[in-house]
Amino acid sequence: MLTREHLAGHLHELLRVDSFDDYAPNGLQVEGRARIRRVVSGVTASLELIRRAADLDACALLVHHGWFWRGEDARVLGQRHKRLKALLQADINLFAYHLPLDAHPELGNNAQLAARLGWQAEGHFGKQQLGMLGRAPQATRGELADALRSVLGRTALLVGDAEAPVGRLAWCTGAAQGWIEQARDAGADTYVSGEISEPTAHFAREMGIAYLACGHHATERYGVQALGEHLAARFGIEHHFIDVDNPA
């Protein structure tokens, strides 16, 4: 039987947790039952995800967005209390991996998004080398937006000429819109991320780089799902991915 400590140690080594300076603790964030036979994965440790994991009698909840973010109010009040109470009542372990899961070369969010779109990775850019550079089979930016819509199930917001060709592609899932200058400096003419902020459109137009905002949640559904599938195959445990939809 897989133990909590064995699972924590395996994930720590697999995701190279010690290599990252992150905004929240990576690994076991809340302790639950000692033995693991069923894991539920999801993007964010929301109250809905916790309740649905409890309905499945999950032993562990594996997420990309966990708790205890740097700079947050540390008091256990309001929604934090409700989430923590539900987790503890169900005796579920909470494992969260943020930047380490973004960066993993096979199971990470960036790698998994590329695999679904047929992108070929050729290098990295940005802080801690989290962003990826490469080539896409889609010939134009419009075709790239169409492919993203087909895979992600939501319309990609394109800032740029839809008819222009895609040459050097850069991508980083989630809220990496602020890296648009670094993507351009790394040689990209097209940049894909999750969110868009007000300055992003201006930077894209002024620098001559196309930007596609495809959704923070939508671009980060696949890493934690792949990680859960990896655990099921390696340890012979059950894994269920639950997608709690988020329009952001």
96-119: pLDDT as tens digits: 999 999 999 999 999 999 999 999
Contact 211, 171 (CB under 8 A): no
As annotated, the residues of the chain forming the CATH 3.40.1390.30 domain(s) are 2-98, 109-219
Residue 214, pLDDT score: 98
Residue 212, pLDDT score: 98
Residue 1, pLDDT score: 86
Report the C-alpha gap between 159 and 191 in whole angstroms: 10
Residue 195, pLDDT score: 98
| Cα dist from 191 to 21, 129, 211, whole Å | 24, 15, 5
**What global pTM score does this model have?**
0.96
**CATH of region 2-98:** 3.40.1390.30
Percent of residues in the chain assigned helix, strand, coil, to nearest 5: 40, 25, 35
Instruction: Write out residues in the chain with pLDDT < 70, as ranges.
Output: none
Return the closest-CA partner of residue 142 out of 153, 133, 155: 155
Protein fold of 109-219 = 3.40.1390
Residue 223, pLDDT score: 98
Contacts of 56 (CB under 8 A, 6+ apart): 38, 40, 240
Contact 58, 238 (CB under 8 A): no
